[in-house]
Amino acid sequence: MRNLFESQQAIAEQLVSSSEKFTYLCSVLRSLFQVAAVTALEIICEQTPDAVDNAALGNFAKRFNQPTDGLPVEILEVATPVIRSYVSRTYHSGWFERDPDYGNTLATEASAWVTFRNNKPAHGVLSKSDIDEWAPKLSVLLHRSLACFGDTLPRIENSNILKVSIGSSEQTLKTPLLHIGMPVVISGVETRKGIWKLEGQTLAWDKSHSFTIDLPEGSVFEELESNFPSKFDVVELEFNGSKHSVFTNVPVRQTSTFEGRSKELGALAGWMNEPEESKFCLIFGDGGIGKTTLALEFLNRILDGDEVLTAKPPSIISYYSAKMTRWSDQGVTHLQGISDAMEDCVRELLFCLYPVLGKDYYKLTSTALVDRVASEFTQQGFKRNDILLVLDNTETLATSPAEVENFSAFLKQIGRRLGRVLITSRRREFVAFEPLQISALSDEECTSLMRRLANEYNATAIKQAREAKLRRAANQLANKPLLIDTLVKYLARSPVGIDQAIDQVFRKTNDQLLAFLYDDAWLRINELQQDVFLVLVSAAIPLNSFCVADACVLVGIQHVEFQKALDETYFATVTDYRDRYDLQIVELAGRFFQQQLQKRSAGDRRRIMDFALKVDAQATKRHRVEQSYLQDRVAEAFRSQFAKAAKIATAQGDLRAAEDNFKLALEEEPMNAALHDRFAWFLLNRCQRPEDAWRLAEQAVKLDPYNADASLTLALCWYRIGELAKGDNEIEAARKKGKQPALCLLRMGIARYHAVKKFPYNKETPELLRLGVYAVDQAIKLMDPDDDFISKNMREALRYKKLFLELQYKIKSRQIEADGAAL
């Protein structure tokens, strides 16, 4: 690709206007740095151990949702030392090294460009003087960047296959960094319900093409997601010229065809900009009017940086939707009444501070729970206005007058002690709220929405209808977005006209309407899709994308094919968190499914129930593994306030503050072995300082001789330093203390792979290769492919088996060449 970038550089240099030259050089640099950064992530993901567990890399992958010019520079700052340690000591020579001709490093010059971009073109005034000054600077920066990245830029084979040579390895890239033969600028990488897509534009001066493409399974963005993702992500926002971190669990937008509501969005922004004026805001209106859609649209605009607030955004935005079941320390529990549900939404906040909640937090109730949680956040420096709780569909939490009264009292406690509250409900709740009643869409908004949906679902009847006919149809549907969406989907799959559809469907009661739609949708989905729905309704656990995937495997259908049926029907409410989703089957749909199940033969019913039990068992096992992992390795470490502050600073990417807080936490808890282990892990993976990490890991082992995790961390430190024998001793200790033998063997094999890569022609190489290959092969044999936590290690083992074969071939080829030259 180097030749492609050099040709684009030549085009930019030929431009006469400084303004045009500046603009296009920015585009070329944006593409070049993105290619370098994504290539680095792919190299790390493919060729280095443990780095995939690095939360920083996972956060970088998530931030490609809306990539900034500073993101690739940040990635290269972290990725370059990792690749130099594991893969090639000469990787990106000149990035950190001072250039005598220019007097600074390329990393410094790139950071200066990003700072200028943020202060001038992005958020300030770009003057002619700025352009005249920076156009020649960008030419130099591009020249230096091509010299630095040139040897590690992908090369093109067979038109669109990209390969990169690094160290002694050759790797095929999975990310489509080339489109119609041109480099690309990535506009965004998103996952909706686990399906990954990349949006981009081609790098071209005359005409740039926009495109969207599905990413292949196992892409670097998918691989860098954690096996057990944190409930809260960290989003960086710009506010008053500086970065502001927001911890959030807000789902993605419910629709890509949001229409109208400018007045309501303005009212919400006004409420957010006056934190001292009102504790509560209530979005209320009829069912299907778009309350949840409005709330999620507004919150996502804030998190995407599209909604500019005059007041500082909240530091924590916690979203909670009414549900009937939850996972607790006791496994699956069913929520009983208003008290359980409201207390659950308060506990949700604690996942900002804790990876897993102890039993104490499930024993606390009512005011005692609110006070305890409020005290936790106060000690971490969060004020009431820093926290926003979003409670969706609260009308389902309280139905009787007594429950409504208790609900109102609980809300007042939350608003007084914890933070501000944004509520959606079908009723006017009895609290001192800022009311925001959602009315029907206007006729113009309805017709615009109809046409946009018709294009999306290919509803011919809507496309061919005149404006007046669409307005009449909208009026018959009470101008409700949900009913409009229902009509368009129905027309898209039925050969009838608009009037006939309304006559058939929309002159029924709500229950009759849903029953009719269920019958219609049921007949239009295939038998395998039907079976998955029957399995899910028969399962007892809270449903999410992992449970759906399990059910699809048992039934024998692709997850993506079932998702199509899910999107086209009204059987369930889906809360989409991009890489995963929660699912709640509508109560009436659940009864409908049970009726359909009873119509099946006895053998069919037994098969469905057997699948449901297996889905329950898999979910329970997954939860147990996750809880065990977090409890053993993480929860015990973050008990003190300083430790929690270190966890927060690490998530925000403030490594210096994190290290300072870790040190203060150790002063407070000098005998906490788990804390020493986590600090060692932080230094090893986030700071790339194995020499400092091993001292802490060694102390963790001394403090708790039975701690298998501490032994594993110490072993990895020894391996990174190059002490294979000491690492093997600790790996064996970790195995004896309870670590999976397959995991221990895999780490031994990986350590030998990197030892050989560093010194491929030592006399010890043949033995190291033999032991490494044997260890990886044995690890694969001992792994349980059905274990969700081990699945990641299985992928790692198969990857290293391939790398060992490549390394053996290259060493053997070099030896044959050397022998031939000697003759």
Write the pLDDT tens digit of every residue in 616-648: 888 887 777 666 655 555 667 787 888 888 888
Residue 791: per-residue pLDDT: 64
CB 52 within 8 Å of CB 221:
no
Q: Which of 252, 233, 226 is nearest to 316 (CA)?
A: 233
For every residue of 748-815, which 3-state class applies, written as one string?
HHHHHHHHHHHCCCCCCHHHHHHHHHHHHHHHHHHCCCCCHHHHHHHHHHHHHHHHHHHHHHHHHHHH
More confident residue, 328 or 424: 424
Instruction: Name the CA dihedral angle for 712, 714, 715, 721, rounded to a multiple of 10 degrees.
Output: 150
* Confidence bin at 462 (pLDDT 50/70/90): confident
Q: In 669-707, which ranges are continuous DSSP H helix?
A: 673-681, 690-703
Q: Which tokens belong to 481?
A: 């977005």
List pLDDT tens digits, range 107-150.
898 988 888 887 776 666 778 888 888 888 889 999 999 988 88
Residue 326: per-residue pLDDT: 57
Q: Is the dihedral of CA 523, 527, 529, 534 positive or negative?
A: positive
Angle between helices 70-86 and 106-117 (to 10 degrees): 160
67 three-class SS? coil
The DSSP 8-state label assigned to residue 683 in this structure reads I
Encode burial over 267-285: b for 16+ CB neighbours within 10 A, e otherwise.
bbbebbeebeeebbbbbbb
Residue 610: per-residue pLDDT: 93
Residue 114: per-residue pLDDT: 85
The DSSP 8-state label assigned to residue 310 in this structure reads S
List pLDDT tens digits, range 756-781.
887 877 888 889 999 999 999 998 88
Burial class, 781, CB count within 10 angstroms (exposed 0-12 / middle 13-18 / buried 19+): exposed
Phi-psi region of 130 (alpha: psi -120 to 50; beta: other; left: phi over 0): alpha
* Confidence bin at 491 (pLDDT 50/70/90): confident
Name every residue whose Cβ is closer than 8 Å to that of residue 270 and which is 6 or more positions away in sequence. Answer: none
To 5 degrees, how large is the angle CA 31–CA 36–CA 39?
120
Least confident of 78-82, 384-388, 405-409: 405-409
State the Cα–Cα distance between residues 325 and 436, nearest whole angstrom. Answer: 30
* Confidence bin at 542 (pLDDT 50/70/90): confident
List pLDDT tens digits, range 217-226.
778 887 776 5
To 5 degrees, how large is the angle CA 542–CA 620–CA 745?
135
Residue 221: per-residue pLDDT: 82
Residue 323: per-residue pLDDT: 65
What average pLDDT does range 3-19 have in this prediction?
87
Q: Which of 790, 723, 780, 794 is nearest to 752 (CA)?
A: 723
Highest mean pLDDT among 255-259, 590-594, 721-725: 721-725
Q: Which of 178, 202, 196, 186 is nearest to 66 (CA)?
A: 186
More confident residue, 716 or 256: 716
CB 462 within 8 Å of CB 470:
yes
State the Cα–Cα distance between residues 142 and 18, nearest whole angstrom. Answer: 16
* Confidence bin at 748 (pLDDT 50/70/90): very high
Residue 339 has pLDDT above 60, yes or no: no
What average pLDDT does range 387-394 have in this prediction?
85
Encode burial over 100-135: b for 16+ CB neighbours within 10 A, e otherwise.
eeeeebbbebbeebbebbbeebeeeebeeebbeebb
- Total residue length of the chain: 823
The DSSP 8-state label assigned to residue 1 in this structure reads -
Least confident of 21-25, 489-493, 683-687: 489-493
State the Cα–Cα distance between residues 5 and 11, nearest whole angstrom. Answer: 10
Name every residue whose Cβ is closer than 8 Å to that of residue 776 and which is 6 or more positions away in sequence. Answer: 745, 746, 749, 750, 797, 800, 801, 804
Residue 99 has pLDDT above 90, yes or no: no
List pLDDT tens digits, range 690-724.
889 999 999 999 998 988 888 999 999 999 888 99
More confident residue, 190 or 777: 777
Q: Which of 411, 430, 392, 193 is nearest to 298 (CA)?
A: 392
State the Cα–Cα distance between residues 649 and 643, nearest whole angstrom. Answer: 10
Residue 446 has pLDDT above 90, yes or no: no
Q: Which of 435, 423, 415, 431 is nearest to 279 (CA)?
A: 415
For every residue of 388-407, which 3-state class applies, written as one string?
EEEEECHHHCCCCHHHHHHH
* Confidence bin at 606 (pLDDT 50/70/90): very high
For every residue of 539-558, which 3-state class applies, written as one string?
CCCCEEHHHHHHHHHHHCCC
Tell me the pairing of strands 210-214 and 195-202. Answer: antiparallel
Residue 541 has pLDDT above 60, yes or no: yes
526 three-class SS? coil
Encode burial over 500-531: b for 16+ CB neighbours within 10 A, e otherwise.
ebbeebbeeeeeebbbebbeebbeebeeebbb
State the Cα–Cα distance between residues 690 and 697, nearest whole angstrom. Answer: 10
What average pLDDT does range 77-86 have in this prediction?
83
* Confidence bin at 816 (pLDDT 50/70/90): low
Q: Which tokens belong to 115?
A: 């700072």
State the Cα–Cα distance between residues 791 and 319, nearest whole angstrom. Answer: 30
For every residue of 3-20, which 3-state class applies, written as one string?
HHHHHHHHHHHHCCCHHH
Burial class, 669, CB count within 10 angstroms (exposed 0-12 / middle 13-18 / buried 19+): middle
Residue 430: per-residue pLDDT: 60
Least confident of 237-246, 308-317, 453-462, 664-673: 237-246
Residue 258: per-residue pLDDT: 77
Residue 305: per-residue pLDDT: 79
CB 61 within 8 Å of CB 224:
yes
Residue 666: per-residue pLDDT: 92
What's the mean pLDDT when you consider all of the chain?
A: 82
